[in-house]
Amino acid sequence: MDSDFKPVKRPAVSGQNKTYAFPETKPPEPVETDSQITPDEDIDLVSDGDDVTEEQIEKNDNSQPETTAAVAPKTKTDWQQKLQKLKLHWPPGKKELAVAVVLLLLCLIGGLLYVTHHHSKKPVAHVVKQVVKPKPPTTVASTLSGLQVNPDLNKLPVTGVMIENSTDARPQSGLSQAMVVFEAVAEGGVTRFLALYQDTSPDSVGPVRSARPYYVQWALGFNAGYAHVGGSPDALADIKSWSVRDLDQFANGGSYQRIPTRAAPHNVYTSIAKLNQLEDTKGYTSSTFTGFARKKEAPSKQPTAKSIDLTLSGPIYNAHYDYNLATNSYNRSEGGAPHTDSNTGAQISPKVVIALVTPESNGALDSSGAYYSNYTVTGNGQAYVFQDGIVTIGQWTKNSSTDQIVFTDATGKPLLLNPGQTWLTAVSSTSKISYTP
């Protein structure tokens, strides 16, 4: 037994009794022997010759762990058992250290966020990046046509253009793009058109011809600029006395041109863009007027007017219409052939056709010996309104030269029109109007 352990030598004590702590030693590996040391056995750990009292030894034994030959295995503490359950090691390995660092960083970040959001004296502004979706274009009903258009188009001036309808003038340019067209006989049985533009702007309009008083009066109802090439003496006098927005080609030649493919006087053309520029220089930047009362299209399931004939002066100028159910419009013909637009090649097909019953008479003779036509376009008269495949007989009213023409039904209520092109033709009596289902 004594050979298995070597006692720790203590320095000799002289004078006062002193105690010394034993250095911590690693317990030796247990060695099997024939005899085992029991806890009750005394082990002399003091070398011979050391003068140490029993009391001192007992004191040292109470303050330091015993160094014995065989030590009972220690039980694992609670935290060690927990580490073992978590499969962690102590001292920690690289993996455990990395996890600990990540957790520490997360705790620090969480703490900073908490302090920033809950304990800062000034609130932290949060910048939220919003994705702004483009808004769909906003449209409004055109005052002239009733169609949905950009609101800015309603701010433009209405521009009226006198367009010829002799056989030498056909096919005309820009008629299909006019939103309102008035038709009447100008002289000698030859018809002429007043085409009104605001929300459309064709590049070619013509041929442009001379003014007549009743066309001027219709244009005044729309507060329109009036484009023409000269006119009858009465018309030119009325333009001045009624303060019409005059766009006469004689005084504004730069806004018109003569094309080489037509012979004079059937070759004067213009564009709405050029006329708008001319209007702008004269201060005619917008038009204040009351548009026609409008409704939604409602094609009839039982059309009563699929074929319309309006007699004006003869076969070359009489107007004919065929109802087109697919487009809910009326395909126009004259002189026995489809009436087409030179700009598009398509047949003219208004949404609404109106026959204005108004007295017609002969006026003064022109330079060729033909009578100018006179129409009474103020007051009131019958109106045959064709739309949606049916006809409604009502009344037209125009109280003065500058008032707008309005339409009412048999009960006196406003007669509502479909949006789109409206074509109005003056006829001298109801006998000049015929239609079939």
**DSSP letters along 95-160, please?**
HHHHHHHHHHHHHHHHHHHHHHHHS-SSPPPP------PPPPPP-EE-TTT-SEE-GGGGGSPPEE
Confidence (pLDDT) at 130: 74
Q: Is the pLDDT reported for residue 394 higher than 50?
A: yes
Q: What's the average model confidence in pLDDT over 104-127?
A: 64
β-pairing, 360-365 with 371-375? antiparallel
Confidence (pLDDT) at 390: 98
Quick one: CA dihedral 10, 14, 16, 17, positive or negative?
positive
Give me the CATH code for the 140-437 domain, please. Answer: 3.50.90.10
Q: What's the average model confidence in pLDDT over 229-245?
A: 96
Domain ranges of the chain: 1-98, 140-437
| Confidence band for 121, pLDDT divided at 50, 70 and 90 | low
More confident residue, 155 or 120: 155
| Confidence band for 75, pLDDT divided at 50, 70 and 90 | low
Confidence (pLDDT) at 343: 97
| Confidence band for 81, pLDDT divided at 50, 70 and 90 | low
| Exposed / middle / buried, residue 262 (Cβ in 10 Å: 0-12, 13-18, 19+) | middle
* Count of positions (residues) in the chain: 437
Give the pLDDT confidence of 180-222 residue by residue, as tens digits: 999 999 999 999 999 999 999 999 999 999 999 999 999 999 9
Q: What's the average model confidence in pLDDT over 134-157?
A: 93
How far is Cα 436 from Cα 303, in angstroms, rounded to an integer? 9
| Confidence band for 98, pLDDT divided at 50, 70 and 90 | confident
pTM: 0.70
Q: At what angle do helices 233-241 and 213-220 cross, to 10 degrees?
A: 30
| Confidence band for 78, pLDDT divided at 50, 70 and 90 | low
More confident residue, 307 or 135: 307
Q: What's the average model confidence in pLDDT over 239-257?
A: 97
Q: What's the average model confidence in pLDDT over 381-408?
A: 98
Confidence (pLDDT) at 100: 72
Q: Is the pLDDT reported for residue 300 higher than 80?
A: yes
Confidence (pLDDT) at 83: 53
Confidence (pLDDT) at 108: 75
How far is Cα 118 from Cα 122, in angstroms, rounded to an integer? 10
> Tokens standing for 332?
């126009």
| Confidence band for 369, pLDDT divided at 50, 70 and 90 | confident
* Cis, bond preceding 207 (omega within 30 deg of 0): yes
Q: Is the pLDDT reported for residue 150 higher than 90?
A: yes
How far is Cα 191 from Cα 187, in angstroms, rounded to an integer? 7
Confidence (pLDDT) at 22: 41
Task: Express the helix, strand and coil content of the chain in percent, nearest 5 each.
Answer: 20, 25, 55
Give the pLDDT confidence of 266-290 residue by residue, as tens digits: 999 999 999 999 999 999 999 999 9
